[in-house]
Amino acid sequence: MFQIPDHQVAGHKASKGIIGPLIDNSGRFYKPLQSNNRGSKEESFYKKFSSNTEIPNHIRKFFPTYYGTQHIEASDGSGQHPHLVLEDIVSVRTNPSLMDIKMGSRTWYPTASQAYIVKCFKKDSESTSPNLGFRISGFRVYGNEDSGYWKPERNYVAGFDTNDVRIALRRFVSSNSNDLDGESDCAFAQNVYGGPNGVLAQLLMLKKWFEDQTLLHFYSCSILMVYEKIKPNEDRSCVTIKLIDFAHVVDGQGVIDHNFLGGLCSLIKFVSEILDN
C-alpha cells in the first residue's frame, strides 16, 4: 500500500537507515516526524495552523492539507514511526516538474542555539541565500517521453550562484530543458510563470499576505512549484505553489516576516524578468 515516492528533490530521502517519506495510492503523503524536536514542532505547526481562523482561505490553499498524524511502518522497515499525513501535491500528477526553493536570507530562528546559528550561517553563506534571499534546494524537469527527467545532483544545485539560479529558473519552463548545452527556449514561461493562475500571480498573492501578516515567521521554509508540461494550446491551470517544511516556524509577535518577504520579492523579480524577456 505504501510506496517510496520517486519525485523527491530535497529533504531527507528514504535509504538504508534513514526514514524517508511515503505515499499511498489515495493521494496522501506521509512525512516521518523528524528527530531533534523538529518533528513535534512541525506537527504542532500543522495542528495550530489547521484551526487558525485568522488565515484567509486564499492563503490556506498555499499550504498542504493536514490529515493528522499516524503511526505506520517506516520506509526502512525499522518498525512503526509517527508520520504527518499530508496532501500529496506531486505524485497525483502526470510527469510533474518541480522545484524546491528555500526562502529567506537566513534560515535560523531567533531562539536557536549558538551552535545551530553557526551551522546555518555557514551553510547559508555557501549558498545564494544571503545575496538573493532564497536558494534553490532541488528540482527536476520533465523533458519528453524519450528524454524523461533532468534532475541535477544535489551537490551541483548546492553550488549554484546567482547566474545558475537565473538559468535554472529559465530551464525549468523550457521545452529543451534536457539540452544542457543549448540556450533555454522558455517555451512554457507564459503558461507556467504568466497568466492569472500562474506562478507570478500566485507569488504576488502570497506577497500581499506577507506584507501584512504578523502571526508567523517561516524560517527554513520552502516554496514548492509543481507543474505538468501540457500542450501549449491547452489552457487549463496547471501550476501549484505550496509552502512546505514547517519545523522552524515561530510566532510572529506582531512583526512581519521580513526575512521570508524579502526573498519572496527577490524571487518575484527573477520570475518577472523571465516573463519580460
Among the residues of the chain, which ranges form H helices? Answer: 38-50, 57-60, 114-125, 129-132, 154-158, 162-171, 189-192, 199-212, 258-276
Q: How many residues bind its own copies (CB under 8 A)?
A: 24
State the SS3 of 120-184: HHHHHHCCCHHHHCEEEEEEEEECCCCCCEECCCHHHHHCCCHHHHHHHHHHCCCCCCCCCCCCC
- Nearest Cα neighbor of 270 from 171, 125, 180 is 171
What does the per-residue mask of binding to its own copies show for 125-164, with x meaning CB under 8 A? -----xxxx----------------------------x--
Least distance (Å) between residue 43 CB and its own copies: 26
Any contact of residue 123 with its own copies (CB under 8 A)? no
Candidates 77, 79, 110, 196: give the one binding its own copies (CB under 8 A). 110
Candidates 95, 178, 190, 266: give the one binding its own copies (CB under 8 A). 266
Least distance (Å) between residue 209 CB and its own copies: 12
Nearer to its own copies, 152 or 263 (CB): 263
> How many whole angstroms separate alpha carbon 177 and alpha carbon 92?
23
Least distance (Å) between residue 214 CB and its own copies: 7
Q: C-alpha 121: how far from its chain's center?
A: 21
Any contact of residue 82 with its own copies (CB under 8 A)? no
All three cell numbers of 82: 509517527
What does the per-residue mask of binding to its own copies show for 209-248, with x meaning CB under 8 A? --xx-x----------------------------------
Restricted to residues 155-214, the positions that interact with its own copies (CB under 8 A) are 162, 211-212, 214
Nearest-5° Cα angle at 21, 16 to 23: 120
Any contact of residue 258 with its own copies (CB under 8 A)? yes
Residue 14 burial by Cβ neighbours in a 10 Å radius (0-12, 13-18, 19+): middle
Candidates 34, 75, 105, 220: give the one binding its own copies (CB under 8 A). 105
> How many whole angstroms separate alpha carbon 210 and alpha carbon 205?
9
Residues at the site binding its own copies, with contacts judged by CB under 8 A: 105-106, 110, 130-133, 162, 211-212, 214, 253-256, 258-259, 261-263, 265-266, 268-269
